[in-house]
Structure 1
Amino acid sequence: MPHQATGAAPDGGGSAPRSLVLMLPGQGSQFAAMGVPLYESDARFRKALDDFFDAFGTGAERLRREWLHGSAQGIERGSFAQPMLFGLDYAAGAVWLEELKGVDVTLVGHSVGELAAATLAGAFDLELAGALLAERARLLDAAPRGGMIACRATEESLREHLDALGGRAVIAAENADNQCVVSCAEEDLPDTMRYLGSHGVTCLRVASTEPFHSPLLAPAAARFEEFLARRGHRLSTTELPMVSAYSARRISGREIMPASFWTRQMAEKVRFWEALRHNFDSGPRTFVEIGPGTVLSLAARRLPSVRARRSTVISTMPRHRPHPEHWESAIHEVAEEFC
């Protein structure tokens, strides 16, 4: 099978109907030249991403040039990674939703991936989303330097270690039952990694130069909220089912979420694991990570329904297999199953 999949085989007769979940990744999933082969080969993907670049406005050409021709240096910078991850998530989602027209699909995004999911679901139009990402990038350039550490540990055990450090680092995300992310200021990164490692916690630096999902970004999040609040009349209800990894609940299609909902998540914990467990682990599902990397796929594989082979997980744009054929094969196979 050309794409990565784990979990159940197609359902047999009499089984519960399978549902589809599209997962959109955020900071830490980026890698050099992510999505470039797809941009060069898929006209629909290219148009959707170009539409985002147009909406992003001033700075879009530099962003596009850095993405198409840049090296691995600088991809951890939030002012580059955040708009590019949004754009790739959005373009991928546009293609997948076109292919799956009429299929019951639920969206869930991680961090900036949640903003892409909200745009695809209809909470913002693309013009507003582009302005939001441009403002977010500007705020991140002025934000405190810091970083994030991926840890193989439960949230409970990790919290005990962080308490011993005196609050210099916080849990930024719980991605799975044994996968958490810690965020702290730049000067605290070495000591935090050293302390956790000395206590048996496997650690890996996340590709980020900002302390996302920590109080250090609260001032930037407050200014981000002010920016969106001034445009609050342009917010809408969602037209597609969507689960928020910020609140860990489904977003009602009858309710317009306030500006604070979409902006404060930059400085608060991502509850991705809780969102998965509470909303998606009750029946057979196909989870598809439609953006770059495999962070969300690895998390979804920890779900009991996947471990019991009732559900399946597919990654479509992994770092080690960036070829368009991989992506196209995944789309065709999922479309055949659901359409």
Structure 2
Amino acid sequence: MSIINLKRKFISTYINSRGFRTNRKIVVIESDDWGSIRMASRAVYDKLLAKGYPVDKLSYLKYDSLESNLDLVKLFEVLTSFRDSHGNHPVITANTIISNPDFEKIRGADFNEYHSELFTETLKKYPDHDKVFELHKQGIEKKVFYPQLHGMEHVNVVRWMKALQANNKNARVAFDNFLFDLSEHHTVISEDSFVDALHPNSIEDIDFHRNRLFLAAKYFKELYGYESKSFIAPCYIWNKEHEDIFNEIGVELIQCGTFQLYPIVGKVSHFKKKLHFTGELNRLKQKYSVRNCIFEPSVIQRDTVVEDTINQIEHAFANKKPAIISSHRVNYIGFIDAENREKTLNYLFDILNKILIKWPDVEFMTSEDINTLLQ
């Protein structure tokens, strides 16, 4: 076995062996980035590709975009096709970004001021998105789509604005095409990458993050009518000062990826990696829940995606853990490339069908349900 596979096995064993345990067969699907912009359109994608920008090398640039009416309709069709033994549909915990950059106002201020708009305003600028927010609410009513807070924006505002002011070529090209990032990597953060919203460039940035997170919590409640009890940090990057802010805005459960990337202030590409486990408490008595399964067919393109996901769920259940599945929005988006969405939905249908056959006593839950279980 290779060193990489040994490391993966160790991490999986650590995550599944510690903390909260239950005999119940619980499946949670956590999906990040709803409400956030990414690739603006197929026309923009084709233009950037023709100019030599490697937008075809990163799934988040090749496929991801603000969710369209059809994206949600088709996703809900699959989810409502299944029910667990309690009559509950599979449900997407839709971790939502509340606002996006207002490109026109930023340009109008000659790049000296940052301006944003609620994602419900951004939707009005896209061609097939007029029913998206209403579909969000319908998904909540049908109990197949449950928004939670992912942040005010998915952009590192301070570093991005400095790059725009310095006339950074990639930053300006992206801006001119209504994007904020053209990086070839999603998990490798660099001076040319701006998706790490809560990565402090200096200690003063924490106050900026506090203001943005308080606004995010305020607008989230105004939009959806309830408070978000859980939170997932963009790119899994946050530190203990952010946990103080999460606590102040009412967050009780911190959703985690495999690692928390603990930022070193002022060092863009340097992090301390921290492992957590589901049920772990921090100094503020907030709980962590850790994703122990992966369903990311747009990002990890393997023919064995269904088998791999089922095996990970089985491993979680064997260790008496909820199966908490990472499945980003990019997998369900067909606005740029319809085939991307259709492939994922076919996989998802197959996975849900196999789950119900293999574990007829399965329970489909949200991250907020996990928060309640851990109390």
The structure that has the greater radius of gyration is: 2
Q: TM-score range by the shorter chain?
A: 0.3 to 0.5
TM-score by length of 1: 0.36
TM-score by length of 2: 0.34
* Higher helix content, 1 or 2: 1
